[in-house]
């Protein structure tokens, strides 16, 4: 049973940085892609970035390209999201999620494709 636990959120000033961590336990061959999503109050949950477990292909939302970086440490069962140059509009609850299928450029941010979700970690930018 795959479980995901996020950590690393916090309150930072605009321009600051954080490293969000997603501990992934119970990974099986059926989990091929890990994604980071975020949800601000009153808004839909949106995809931020994703990474293929094998091959490490990455995907990013246009709004975070050049500022956010997703990476993995398979030995530690960890996926990270380095968030730099934070803006007020980055304020949201950030979730990591796992999916059995591969991520592709046209569907990596499709919430329905993910079947395991963490509880989230709050990022607040002032």
Residue 17: burial class (beta carbons within 10 Å; 0-12, 13-18, 19+): exposed
SS3 annotation, 51-74: EECCCCCEEECCCCCCCEEEEEEH
Residue 113: how many CB atoms within 10 A of its CB? Answer: 18
Mean pLDDT, rounded, of the chain: 93
Which pairing describes strands 121-125 and 58-60: parallel, antiparallel, or unpaired?
unpaired
Place of tokens 């293929």: 52
Residue 69: burial class (beta carbons within 10 Å; 0-12, 13-18, 19+): middle
Q: pLDDT tens across 92-120, in order?
A: 999 999 998 899 999 999 999 999 999 99
pLDDT at position 119 is 96
pLDDT at position 97 is 96
């Amino acid at each position: 049973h795959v479980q995901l636990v996020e950590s690393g959120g916090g309150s930072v000033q605009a321009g600051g940085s954080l490293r969000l961590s997603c501990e992934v336990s119970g990974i099986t061959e059926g989990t091929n892609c890990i994604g980071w999503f975020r949800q601000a109050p009153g808004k839909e949950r949106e995809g931020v970035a994703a990474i293929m477990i094998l091959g490490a292909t990455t995907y990013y939302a246009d709004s975070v390209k050049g500022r956010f970086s997703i990476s993995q440490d398979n030995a530690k069962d960890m996926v990270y999201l380095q968030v730099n140059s934070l803006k007020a509009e980055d304020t949201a609850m950030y979730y990591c999620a796992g999916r059995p299928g591969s991520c592709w450029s046209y569907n990596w941010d499709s919430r329905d494709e993910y079947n395991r979700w963490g509880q989230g970690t709050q990022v607040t930018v002032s």
